[in-house]
Amino acid sequence: MSAAHNCACCRAPVNPAGPPARIGKKGLNPEQKRRLAVLVFSLAVFALSMVFEAALRSILGTRGLYFIYALPYFFCGVPVFKSAWASLRSGDYFSEFSLMGFATVAAILLNHPAEAVGVMLFYSLGEFLQELATQNSRGSIRALLASRPNTANVLENGSTRAVPVEEVEPGARLVIRAGDKIPLDGLVLSGSSQLDESPLTGESMPVDVGIGGRVNAGCINLGGVLEVEASGRFADTHMARILDMVEHAMSRKSPTERFITRFARYYTPAVLCAAALVAVLPPLLQEEAFAVWIYRALVLLVVSCPCALLVSVPLGYFGGIGLASRRGILVKGGNVLDGILKTRAVIFDKTGTLTRGRFTVTAVVPAPGQDESALLQAAALAECASGHPIAVSIMEKAEDFQRPENLKIREIAGQGMAASCSSSAGVEDVYYAGNALLMRGLGLAVPEVREPGSVVYVAHGGRYLGYLLVSDSVKPDAAEAVAALKARGLKTALFSGDRSAVVSFVADKLKIDSWRAELLPGNKVEAIASVAPAAGVTFVGDGINDAPSLAFAGVGIAMGGIGSEAAIEAAEAVILNDSPLKVDELYSIARTVRKVVRQNIAGALGIKFLIMVLGLGGLSGLWEAVFADVGVALLAVLNVVRALRKHT
């Protein structure tokens, strides 16, 4: 048997005539309409033949009746036999197509033409309905992919021309009219409007944007005309990253999916061997008719396909990923949904995760003998190349700052920034801005600041210049998020590189169970390991210093709006609107997926086992067997759709 089970509901059916038709956003595509017409015609012919079988037999004879039965069998069976032949040529001898074709041919040879036609017809009808249900369950993913902008209106020499988004260069000027999708990330040069950011964040509330504001690809312009300068290529946009994550999410299978795949490799051959023994042993041992036991073996043969398992389990995870994406949560694989359910503790970073990450300088405190303006200018020199929210607030405060041309800047991980430039006398000046740990490393004594807020100490040329106090505010839904997680019985913790006074203030306000302060990136990893085994920890962060913790934890969740590229790449899930409440929502989605997957596994195996037992006793036939195969698969798909719709 081949390594992977080849079944219509687990992958696209083999179609020698060419690829399947594209599935439209709504309704049936032309290929589906043609198949539906064939099914309706075949069903009508079969129903009339069954109702008027005695009359038709007396008029046309047995051969004539067989010919009428052959019409629906032919129309429904040709695609199945084509796919069966393709499967056999590829080395998959136990595909659903070959099993169904062999079983119906054997039924005809055993003088059960009506059952053979019925099995083939209802199998084809079940596959068709299952495809429609699957198509519907993937609607959220399809809608996300459909939101991808294709062209951009580039302004050149006073006129615009449509250019494929992949060909637009950074710095190009784009004209975005009302109703247009924003094609690339960029800055607004002129105009003001409101944006619908729901394709990215899942939030329907429009967002105001004006000159100097940032816009992201995939959002929809609801108002006036905007002129935007592209800040990068399409491949670097939020939208491109989202599409890449979603399209590759299912390549990372969950443990449940991997188990079901391995199970199917042994399950089908085992049932086939059992069917062979059923067909041969009872007639030999009890001298009964071979035809009776061959028919019962056919029942086992039709039941044996693990179709319902192989479609419902991955579809459950696929549906969960789609639902999460519609809610503004990107999940990079089905394994994440299983992993988050192992969580025993949720650990948060502070800045940008539980707090807004929008800082303002609330105090400028120079050291004795130092000037406030000089302190601000020195802090701006050190922080001018950093994109951290604290650095941005300092640059906003230092309004008259002008960056020297020969300035060289480097980051000191977990401590701060250093900048150096040559003075007019050729002497290199070095400026430092960071935390108390950085100052102690420079051999400088600094005062302890007890006020809530982040303290940025500044030094120049071996002298302590003073400090800036930068304050942040807690996100409005942070307390609700922590309370929801604690209600699930999960431990909560706050790990930050900030001062103890600030971290304890936030932890107490949000009623977080425990907290650690002044942690370097490496210390955060060690602290996570001390809370619980890594597999039982979910870490939520946003900065480049959180990347090691995100990668180390069982599940890493990054804030995608304010988060750094390193954090987003290291995380298994990304929250697009930066709301910590989405952590609890992801946990809820994962529980729904696990529940529906378990229901489908139990239901599929239970019904199949029941039909097998009844078949051995002669109490079920091919009609029941085809229900245990295709019918149960269809019910499993509908159960996924039901559960996810109920969750919404």
Residue 110 has pLDDT above 90, yes or no: no
pLDDT at 494 over 90: yes
> Mind spelling out the 3-state secondary structure of 389-426?
HHHHHHHHHCCCCCCCCCCEEEEECCCEEEEEEECCCC
CB 275 within 8 A of CB 301: yes
Instruction: Report which secondary-structure segment, H or E, holds 539.
Output: strand 537-541
Instruction: Report how far Cα 320 is from the mean position of its chain's Cα atoms.
Output: 8
Range 240-253 average pLDDT? 55
Give me the residue label for tokens 């300035």: 407
Please say whether the beta carbons of 420 and 428 come within 8 A.
yes
pLDDT score recorded for residue 348: 93
CA distance 491 to 345: 4
- Provide the β-strand partners of residue 463: 460
pLDDT in tens, 580-630: 999 999 999 999 988 988 888 888 888 878 888 887 777 877 767 777 767
Q: Is 349 a catalytic residue?
A: yes
Mean pLDDT of the chain: 78
Mean pLDDT of 477-492: 93
Q: What percent of the chain has pLDDT over 90?
A: 13
d(CA 572, CA 249): 10
pLDDT of res. 24: 38
Asked if the model's pLDDT at residue 414 lies above 60, the reply is yes
Q: Which domains does the chain have, with CATH numbers?
A: 1-137 (no CATH), 149-236 (2.70.150.10), 329-356+474-590 (3.40.50.1000), 360-471 (3.40.1110.10)
Question: pTM for this structure?
Answer: 0.59
pLDDT (0 to 100) of residue 43: 84
Written as one letter, the residue type at 23 is I
Lowest-pLDDT choice from 187-196, 201-210, 335-344, 405-414? 201-210
186-200 average pLDDT score: 80
Of 69-83, 279-293, 298-312, 383-397, minimum mean pLDDT range: 298-312
Long-range contacts of 21-24 (CB under 8 A, 24+ apart): 23/135, 23/142
Selecting among 196, 349, 584, 629, the annotated active-site residue is 349
Residue 5 has pLDDT above 50, yes or no: no
